[in-house]
Chain A
Amino acid sequence: MSRVPGSGGAARGAAGTTGIPRDPPTRPRCVFQEQLQPPAIDIPMARLTVSYSRSSGPGGQNVNKVNSKAEVRFHLASADWIPEAVRQKMALMHRNKINRAGELIVTSEESRYQMRNLAICLEKIRTMVTEAIEKPKVVSKETAQKLIERVEKMNRERLRQKKIHSTIKQSRKADFD
């Protein structure tokens, strides 16, 4: 039952003592990606109402009997784990998912397992909050100017090429007057 005392008392973490060849330290593959992602939002499970029901779709006896559709609802206006401004933004963005009592309802029946459907619901809530938090990108004046210049340049080039093509076609015409 207990660990054998004779094996040097090597703890699972102290792998170096037993001479296990260590993996070379992994270089961060996409540092930018990691830095830009905001920390995962903590959802208090006690404030949510979770209910399970039977999913729709084909599947015979299994889909008829097994409760795998997960539904999560919570009162949006009183959710203090979301900042006030974000709450209002969410009420606007997802007004189709809010019922008359003011509860935001998220459902999932994509997976065969209740637990996974619940995880998907929570992930959806997190995405909603993240989308509501993000501010619209402010395009600086210089960048806006550059974009307009680019479009104009493209059009100029397109018309130039068109004129060249036109002269080529004209030169092929044999006009004997």
Chain B
Amino acid sequence: MSGSGVNRALELLRSLPRVSLANLRPNPGSKKRERRRGRGRYGGRKCGRGHKGERQRGNRPRLGFEGGQTPFYLAIPKYGFNEGHSLRRQYQPLSLQRLQYLIDLGRVDPTQPIDLTQLINARGVTVQPLKRDYGVHLVEEGADIFAAKVNIEVQRASELAIAAIEKNGGVVTTSFYDPRSLEILCKPVVFFLRGKPIPKRMLPPEDLVRYYTDPRSRGYLADPSKVAEARLELAKKYGYVLPDITKDELFKMLSARKDPRQIFFGLAPGWIINLADKKILKPTDESLLKYYSS
């Protein structure tokens, strides 16, 4: 059946004339006629400028001028609402509803640890490291319908979001990525093509150390035993039974964590990835090894 269709198409190609400018035409509705002033009954005469005065003569005062009255933008006193806005850390929100949507559609694989790279590859979030984005913030919208067991690593997470994930038997970790590491994490292939060694991830600045060493925010620098205690506490607070992940079949995957200096799972700082030859180059020099393992 398809054979005759193909044959018919080939016959057409043989019989129809050559494609030339005389045979081509844009799709109806794709090209709209340009509106030109000074032409015809409606575009002409006053040409849309009104009748006399500053309007027609093009001499209107500057934007914001209110005829002499102190304009709004000068009457209102200054206040530093936006002061230092370009130095503030921003986090792209990721709701649990969106995460469930991505998992249901198969864009994100819950059987592997979910990382920022996985989320960006799935086009679930868009992070712009150059616009002072420091990562992703897990938000509780959709906490009631969330039903997926995941090992997720974000940069910030709200308490209810953590509770919702742990209720379903998952694991949340919050970790810090400095802007350079974040850029590499968001676009790994572009970085690998540069041919530079993977840098080590920097530790959080002073004001974030407290957050990332706090077991309640499941920080990656927090004491694991305290994190376990915090999990129990949260379960008591929100009134659910904390599932025992040690008895889970995916326990190994759920407990997979990155080293504080590691950017990618399975790749250490100092390695160079050669995508063309599919090879990994590791440093052998002692001083380099010492630097990268510190």
Contact = CB atoms under 8 A, between A and B. Distances in A.
Identify the interface centre among A7, A20, A21: most chain B CB within 10 Å of its CB. A7
Contact of A68 (B144, B209, B225): B144
B260 A23 contact: no
Interface string A7-43: 1101111010011110100000000000000001011
Interface string B185-215: 0000000000000000001000001100100
A12 B260 contact: yes
Contacts of A113: 140, 143-144, 160
Nearest to A42: B236
Contact of A116 (B113, B160, B209, B210): B160
Contacts of B143: 113-116
Contacts of A66: 144
A3 B259 CA distance: 6
Nearest to B167: A115
A21 B209 contact: yes
Contacts, number: 102
B238 A3 contact: no
Main secondary structure, interface of B, reads: loop
A50 B238 CA distance: 12
Nearest to A41: B236
B268 A6 contact: yes
Interface in B237-273: 237-241, 253, 256-262, 265-269
A44 to B, nearest CB: 10
A150 to B, nearest CB: 43
Contacts of A115: 143-144, 160, 163-164, 167, 238, 240
A119 B238 contact: yes
A1 B250 CA distance: 13
B140 to A, nearest CB: 6
B258 to A, nearest CB: 7
A11 B258 CA distance: 10
Given A43-B239, A115-B163, A7 B293 contact: yes
B172 interface: no
Contact of B262 (A7, A13, A45, A122): A7
Contacts of A61: none
Interface residues of A, number: 35
Nearest to B259: A7
A119 B213 contact: no
B91 interface: no
A70 B44 CA distance: 68
Interface string A58-78: 000000001110000000000
Nearest to B282: A6
A6 B267 CA distance: 10
Contact of A3 (B224, B240, B241, B258): B258
Nearest to A121: B239
Identify the interface centre among B209, B258, B259, B262: most chain A CB within 10 Å of its CB. B259
Contacts of B258: 3
Contact of A4 (B203, B224, B266): B266
B252 to A, nearest CB: 8
Given A2-B256, A4-B259, A23-B210, A50 B144 contact: no
Contacts of A50: 239
Given A4-B268, A66-B144, 12 more contacts: A3-B262, A6-B293, A7-B261, A7-B268, A12-B257, A19-B294, A23-B209, A45-B241, A67-B144, A68-B144, A113-B140, A115-B238
15 contacts: A1-B112, A1-B113, A1-B266, A3-B256, A3-B258, A4-B262, A6-B292, A7-B261, A13-B223, A13-B224, A15-B260, A20-B203, A66-B144, A115-B163, A115-B167
Interface of B: 112-113, 140, 143-144, 160, 163-164, 167, 203, 209-210, 213, 220-225, 236-241, 253, 256-262, 265-269, 289, 292-294
